[in-house]
Amino acid sequence: MVVRKIAENVYYVGLDDNITEFFEGIWPLPYGVSYNTYLIEDNEVALIEPGVKKELAAKYLDELETAVSLPEIDYIIVNHNEPDHSGTLPLLYRLTKAKIIASKFGVNLIRSFYNISERVTSVGSGDSLKLGKTELKFITIPGVHWPDSMITYETNNKILFSSDVFGTFGSLRGCVFDSELDLAFYIEEAKRYFVNIIGKYAESAARALEGLKNIKIEIIAPAHGPVWKEYIDSIMNLYRNLASRVSRDKITIIYGTMYGFTEELAMYIASRLAEKGFEVEVFNGVTEHPSFTISSIWDSKVVIIGSPTYDNDAFLPILTHVIYIRSKLIKDKKYAIFGSFGWSGKGYKKIQEILAELGWKLIEPIVEFQGRTTAEVKGKADELVNNIIREVGEV
């Protein structure tokens, strides 16, 4: 639990969650996650973000009360009503007389989720709120990643309270600012967070980023992850590239294997590409969660899928990764397929059908083989590698 001053009259109030295994019940949290709220003290007091998930309510309220007497809170700004933020809102509503500020859609969700309708006011882009010398301006960003989403800009310190935007997975372990943490780690977790949580709505994120380009920002204070101050350009550039679906000269290989045959060829293909100077990320799709594979795929130029045939169909662990690809609308990639079979092949057909819906372009040949990896199979794999290189371009 951390309470920390981040600017004049502005305090971070947050805590780590190292208990929850899956964010939204889907995305693994091997390194935990933080829940961040912010307290602004002026003539009137505002709490930015409505709290944390309800399971952590007691811990959070104890922490909040070390920074402010709850009855002194005049406003609760609900940038986003997802229950990992708003789980404590019903308690705060009962323990304070605060007015609740949310987007128009957010007001509807507050009523629907918590049966709260009194002391609730909707705002839109361009609306503002004065707390004294402090002015808050509101910008709605529907679709990033819920229709209620908005961000709040504090004009004195030029702080962007960005809700889920610019957020990351990963606990903060007592730290608050980006300069106090391993930047490379949190940038990678910011990427995974974007792809997993916001990625399906990348176009909406791109529009939101465009709307921020004329706003001077000195601090970004998201609802998850570090407060960005020293490395604002790093997180901004990451989001611009991800929202614009920029690809790098990188190849992602996802394979599944039952008895090692498909894995053997996966390692051979990866080795050949690495020899040519390509960045290659390899995932065993049986043991790796799609959270990590789709994060890699997002900015890869080529995806290579290794799937044995199982019950005359696609190998279920690999098909699962492909379904996640479809769920996040990762479109217009180039891909290749390989895999082994025992007595009957063509299990990759369902994978092809799904990827065709997304506009993915197949690089041939499909390298399907019975049993072990022979010299002939490696010859076909060499042909595939050469075709992949032609598609991507020499490094």
| C-alpha distances out from residue 152 to 129, 138, 304, 324, Å | 10, 5, 42, 32
Residues 221 and 72 in one domain: yes
- Among residues 204, 227, 243, which one ends one of the domains? 243
Residues 88 and 209 in one domain: yes
pLDDT at position 272 is 97
pLDDT at position 393 is 78
pLDDT at position 395 is 42
CATH of the domain at 303: 3.40.50.360
Tell me the torsion sign for CA atoms 333, 297, 210, 125. Answer: positive
| C-alpha distances out from residue 188 to 15, 167, 168, 234, 282, Å | 21, 11, 8, 11, 16
Tokens at residue 31, please?
């390194």
User: What is the CA angle 73-77-83, rounded to 5?
Assistant: 110
Which three-class secondary structure state does DSSP give residue 329? coil
pLDDT at position 394 is 53
CATH of the domain at 178: 3.60.15.10
pLDDT in tens, 145-185: 999 999 999 999 999 999 999 999 999 999 999 999 999 99
Is pTM beyond 0.85 here? yes
Query: What φ, ψ does residue 163 adopt, rounded to 5°?
Result: 60, -130
Residues 92 and 175 in one domain: yes
pLDDT in tens, 226-285: 999 999 999 999 999 999 999 999 999 999 999 999 999 999 999 999 999 999 999 999
Q: What is the mean pLDDT of residues 341-369?
A: 95
Percent of the chain with pLDDT over 90: 97
What's the chain's Rg over C-alpha atoms?
Answer: 24
Which three-class secondary structure state does DSSP give residue 194? helix
The residue type found at 241 is N
Residues 20 and 109 in one domain: yes
Residues 232 and 301 in one domain: no
Residues 224 and 295 in one domain: no
Residues 36 and 149 in one domain: yes
- How far is it, in rounded angstroms, from Cα 305 to Cα 327? 17
Q: How far is C-alpha 114 from the chain's CA centre?
A: 26
Helix%, strand%, coil% for the chain, nearest 5: 35, 30, 35
Domain extent for 287? 251-392
Number of domain units in the chain: 2
Residues 136 and 263 in one domain: no
Tokens at residue 140, please?
């709605």
Residues 147 and 196 in one domain: yes
Q: Is the pLDDT of residue 1 over 90?
A: no
DSSP secondary structure string for all residues of 332-394 = S-EEEEEEEESS---TTHHHHHHHHHTTPEEPSPPEEEESS--HHHHHHHHHHHHHHHHHH--
